[in-house]
Amino acid sequence: MLVRKTPTWQRTRRALTVTALAALVTGGAFLGSGTASAATTLAGTCKGSVSGSMGDSVALPGSSVKDVVRQAAQEQVGLFNFLTVWPDALANTIAGKGNLEVGQIPQSAGGTIAGDAIGTVVSTALKGSSGLGLTSGTQNQVLTAIKNKVASACALTTLATNYTAPSSSAPSSSPSNGSSSNPGTGGSPLANLVPGSNGGTAPQRDYNGIPTATPGTAIAPGIRYPANGALPGDASAPQLGGQNSEGQGPDIRNAGNAESLATPGSANDVQLPMLLAVIVLAGVTAGLVRTWVLRRAA
């Protein structure tokens, strides 16, 4: 059986070809993944809010600042540069720049793209354009005016749509060794409460300073607080089981120097003057009725 021998140079060429194809495929895969991850979020206007994923670039259409550029350049047109400063040409130039990258979505819930950053991007894009002026001084003046005008008119608020707030769960503090017999050493909810401090209280250890009644010297309830203000044991105060200065028992006392007064008669009693008045009124009424009847009859 004849076996065909492959020359060395052919084997080498085949190996190099396979290696090149593998490198090409691998490189294409890396390039494809890199392009997919570098996303760009386009804002419609130069003022407002824009939402995107964290790390995305934020771009702004040049046409969104076209009117601002025209107005800023128009304010710089004077007597000596009106032939070299062209506001309309600058406005069309910035509109033709397409999308201008002005910032990025931060790695947080949100952020801002200040107007100064947008103004810097716009002035940089217009640098060297026709219509800025003939001299370098005029060009710098117009570019500075455009930058300041855009900075005052534009600002963006960035919002990250894929941001997740971190959990703020605090570890629970529980006794590690059960209750501790020594306050202040931990292991008990009352560990930090020191007796006598503002942080807590403790039971009193000695109760000798509290006044107590002596056995055998109790005072009767009826004479603990006499009406005349005398202290218990005073000779002038009424004593239990005795009589007062008026010869009355301990349960019978005068409440002052009250005297009985004559009570008025009952309101239903009819006195003589009232009776006479009623009789006179009846006679006068009878006379008036008689006179009235006689006149009607006549």
For residue 131, is it left (φ>0), alpha (ψ between -120 and 50) or beta?
left
Structural tokens at position 157: 């608020």
Q: Give residue 82's pLDDT.
A: 86
For tokens 């033709």, the residue is 96
In the DSSP assignment, the letter for residue 202 is -
CA distance 43 to 94: 16
Distance, CA of 168 to CA of 162 (rounded, Å): 19
Count CB atoms within 10 A of the CB of residue 60. 24
Of 187, 155, 181, the C-alpha closest to 64 is 155
Q: Which of 62, 122, 135 is nearest to 95 (CA)?
A: 62
H or E element: which one contains 42? strand 40-42
Contact 137, 192 (CB under 8 A): no
What pLDDT score was predicted for residue 148?
A: 96
Query: Partners of 104 in the beta sheet?
Result: 57
Residue-level length of the chain: 298
pLDDT score recorded for residue 275? 84
The kind and range of the H/E element at 159 are strand 155-160
> Could you list the pLDDT tens digit for every one of the 298 residues in the chain?
444 555 565 665 665 555 555 555 444 444 444 443 459 999 989 999 999 999 999 999 999 999 999 999 999 999 888 899 999 999 999 999 999 999 999 999 999 999 999 999 999 999 999 999 999 999 999 999 999 999 999 999 999 999 888 876 555 554 444 444 444 444 455 545 555 555 555 666 666 666 665 665 555 555 555 555 555 555 555 555 545 545 555 555 555 565 655 555 555 565 788 888 889 899 899 989 888 888 887 6
